[in-house]
Every structure is written in C-alpha cells, then in structure tokens.
Amino acid sequence: MKIGLIGAGRLGICLALLIEQEGYHVIASDVREDYIKDLQNKKIDTTEPQVQELLEHSINLKFTTDNLKVIEESDIIFTLVPTPSLEDGSYDVSAVDDVVSDFLKIGWKNKGSLVGKSLVVGCTTNPSDCDFFQEKLSEVGVDVYYNPEFIAQGSIVDDLRHADMVLLGGEGQHSGALEMIYYQIQNGFKVANVSTMSARAAELTKIAVNCYLTTKITYANQVGQVMTRDGMENEITKVLKAIGSDSRIGTKYLNYGFGFGGPCFPRDNRAFAAYASKTGVETPLGATTDKFNKEHTKFLHEYYVTKNKERLPYVFHYLTYKDGVDIITESRPYDLALSLLDAGYEVYCLDSTAKDRIDSRIKFSDFPRMDQVCYVNL
C-alpha cells in the first residue's frame, strides 16, 4: 500500500516520516519549491526534535510540488493544508477544496482511475465540511475520512507516537488500514486508542477538545489572579496541584501562566462558537475564556509594573507562544513584552528564537546584570 501526503509542513512532514519509518512507500507534496528541494536533499530548517534525524534515515520517501502526482501514485492520501480562520471564527477550507478539485480533475479525465482511493483530511475543518467533500468525491469513487492530530508544537513526533487518542471520522474500505498505520506508529509504546465516529462528529470533537483545554487554562489563571490579589501568589502552584490531584480534574493544563496562544487554541475556541451559533446555540463560555485570556495579559502587565518600582529592565526567557517553539502567533508573552515596551520599559529576551519576527526594540544581547533586572517568569 502506497501513502501520499499533501501539505508537508510542520505537522505533515512529521506524519510522513513516521509512516515511512514503518515500511510504507510515501510521497509528499508542498507548494514551496525551495522547501521541497531541501527535503529532497534530506535537509530541513525546523525546531521540531527528531525530524532531521528521521529525514536523514528515510529510504522510501519522495517529495514533489505536484499534488496530482501524489494522488495518482497513492492509495491513501492524507492532506494537512492550512485552514486559516475567517472573520466569523469559522475555518477557511479553500485549500482543502483545491485538493478535492485535484482529485476530480483526475477522476473526470480518467474514469475509474480513482476508485478505491481514500482522502484523509488531517487539518482542522468545520463540522459538515467533510460531508461536503465526500459528496463531491463519491462520483469518482473516493472515500473521505476526517483524522485530525492532537499534538503540541515542539513535540509533534513524540505526540504522534504517544497519542492519547486517534480520532477517525467516516467509513470506507481503508478504515482498517488507517487504524493499522497508527498501531504501527505507536508500536513499542502503547496500543492506539482509536475513536471512530461520523466525520461531522469527529470534526466537532477536534475543536471541542481544544475548547475544553482553553477553559481549563483560563480557570487556572483565574485562580492565580485571585490568589495574587490576596497576597498568596507564592502558593498558586500548591493550590493548583491540589485541585488537579482530584481524578475528576487532573493536572494537565492546570497551571498558572501567560495564557493560551499559538496557531490552534484561540481559533478553535472561536470556531466552536461560530459553529454553535449556526445550530442556534449560544456558547458564552468560549467568548468568555477568549476575553479573559486577553485581559490576563493586562493583569500581568499591572502586576509586573507594580512589582518593578525601580523601573528595571524586564527579561523574558522566551517570547514565542510557549517555550521550545519558534511560533509567535497569538503569543501572550510577546503581547506582554510589547505592552511593557509601549509603557517605556526596556525589554530583553534570553531566547533568540524567532528574533527576525520580533519587534526590533527588544534586545537579545548586552544583558544587564541579572540582579539589576525584573525577570518575567511564569
């Protein structure tokens, strides 16, 4: 069985490499020509652990900029193309539509050539989008599945190997083969927990999981704010650990910090609200957590300014949306740093990751003595 992947970006390349490692022949595409040339030469510019090593040891992995070639040469085709947010909070799935159009070009030109193939949508889509894709592709004999990944930037390979759950929406002749791929990827670690359901239910599950996590993060920060106001900031960690020790709650994502950010959590929150509104249900929880998350930056600004009566320079460990990645999309540490800059303070950062995309007023060298700074650490 041959595997194809359209959209070999940060997540796509990791999935392609892990599938290839299990003995499958894989062909992956991306629109960036220079990026594909580097991959063909077994080079990649990434901060994701293990990716370069996996790429160097790959044997049966080909790269191309031609999506049609991927479709023609593969039995199962994953697509992990970008689905940015629209103004109403829903996802723009035009890039997935383009992939569907590529299937139809081949299917209409060569009747029967696609019968038995499957398209696996791995990027985040709106509930019912995959039903629409399936309706289009049924006429050329292609099954559509929805199979999003639950990963965190900076640990994608490990997260794929140690997935708490594999979510598989839709039905077709490759259901068993897809489950087998994940069993193999997680071989030696644990048996994959595969949750199967309709594609629409799976699309909802994906964004609902992330919305729950943003609620948990927001709750932890609310507790932290209350304790800070009441002079108990030194015991925030103890309190949250005690709360999380209740098995009904758990400690994951229950930490006091900058708030949630990055390319997934904020937009999934908004997408869930947009979808709920279309069904006639108003979901104030998502809007509330989103609002509080932004206001939490203002709270932290006030806290650090009050703490820094000598107007010492501020030093951040990192400015990306979380430590260990190079992404500044909706980064709360970066937002806090900008607010301090605008208030007239000097700001330094120890980690120069994403330096080329950071405000030039922030300094990455010539640090003052550490006993003469206000260290921002959460």
Same domain, yes or no, for 183 and 267? no
Same domain, yes or no, for 138 and 241? no
Last residue of a domain, one of 149, 176, 197: 197
Overall average pLDDT of the 317-340 stretch: 95
Last residue of a domain, one of 148, 168, 197: 197
E strand or H helix that includes residue 228 = helix 199-229
Q: What is the pLDDT of residues 362-377, one digit of tens each?
A: 999 889 888 899 999 8
Q: What is the pLDDT of residues 255-274, one digit of tens each?
A: 999 999 999 999 999 999 99
The residue among 87, 89, 9, 146 whose CA lies nearest residue 266 is 89
Same domain, yes or no, for 184 and 62? yes
Domain contains 56: yes
Which pLDDT band holds residue 188 (cuts at 50, 70, 90)?
low
The residues with which 6 forms a beta bridge, in sequence order, are 29, 79
State the pLDDT at residue 362.
96
Count how many residues are written for the chain.
378
Same domain, yes or no, for 181 and 249? no
The residue among 167, 246, 170, 241 whose CA lies nearest residue 210 is 167
φ/ψ bin of 275: left (φ > 0), alpha (ψ from -120 to 50), beta (otherwise): alpha
Same domain, yes or no, for 190 and 241? no
Same domain, yes or no, for 38 and 131? yes
Domain contains 370: yes
State the pLDDT at residue 190.
62
| Residue 327 φ/ψ, nearest 5 degrees | -105, 130
Same domain, yes or no, for 193 and 238? no
The enclosing domain of 167 has a CATH number of: 3.40.50.720
Number of C-alpha atoms within 13 angstroms, CB side, residue 8? 35
State the pLDDT at residue 208.
95
Which pLDDT band holds residue 189 (cuts at 50, 70, 90)?
low
The residue among 17, 89, 52 whose CA lies nearest residue 271 is 89
Domain contains 69: yes
Per the listing, tokens 């990649």 go with 44
The residue segments making up the domain with residue 9 are 2-197
Domain count, the chain: 2
Domain contains 209: no
Say if residues 285 and 265 touch (Cβ distance below 8 Å): no
pTM of the model: 0.92
State the pLDDT at residue 286.
85
Domain contains 210: no
Q: CA gyration radius for the chain?
A: 23
State the pLDDT at residue 186.
87
For residue 233, give the DSSP letter: G
How many CB atoms neighbour CB 309 within 10 A? 8
